[in-house]
Amino acid sequence: MVSSTRIVLDTLLPAQADPVLSLGAADARFDAFYAEFDRTVTPRLRTAFRLAVWAALWISPLLIGRLPPLTRLEPPARERALGAMARSRVYLLRQLLMLLKLVVGFCYGADPQVRAVIGYPRPPMSLMKVLKRDL
């Protein structure tokens, strides 16, 4: 994964942000998740995710009056820039940030360490077990 994408994801979900959930996006094995995501999603979603990363890198700093890219800003300014993107009057920018959060959230929630910390250690049930149980 490109380092600029990693900076966007680490800004959205930094390590040590919570005393209980100390893992960040980088610690949640996002590289492996992204490889699978990129391979399996529809071309439209793949393009939208890449556009979302691009907008976070190049447009969000402009929303706080700073020059892009996001990678040259300090972490507090990065957070302000993404926050401004979330509050933007432009619907597309808000939706692109929501897509970034959604993808990072899916990766984070699928991580076994995160699931164990939040008390959800159960492995997912196979579809056949669910169907047999419900019949």
Name the average pLDDT for the chain.
89
**Segment 15-21 mean pLDDT:** 86
Give the pLDDT band of residue 28 (cuts 50, 70, 90).
Answer: confident
- Token pair of 42 as six digits: 């529809």
Report pLDDT for 131.
Answer: 54
Q: Kind and range of the H or E element at 63?
A: helix 60-63
Domain boundaries, the chain: 3-134
Using CA atoms in the order 78, 81, 42, 34, what is the torsion angle rounded to 10 degrees?
10
Q: Encode pLDDT of 55-110 as tens digits.
A: 999 999 999 999 999 999 999 999 999 999 999 999 999 999 999 999 999 998 88
**C-alpha dihedral sign at 28, 69, 60, 35:** negative
- Token pair of 29 as six digits: 């094995």
Report pLDDT for 121.
Answer: 66
Give the CA diameter of the chain: 59
Cβ proximity of 7 and 24 under 8 Å:
no
Residue 81, SS3 per DSSP: helix
Cβ proximity of 17 and 10 under 8 Å:
no
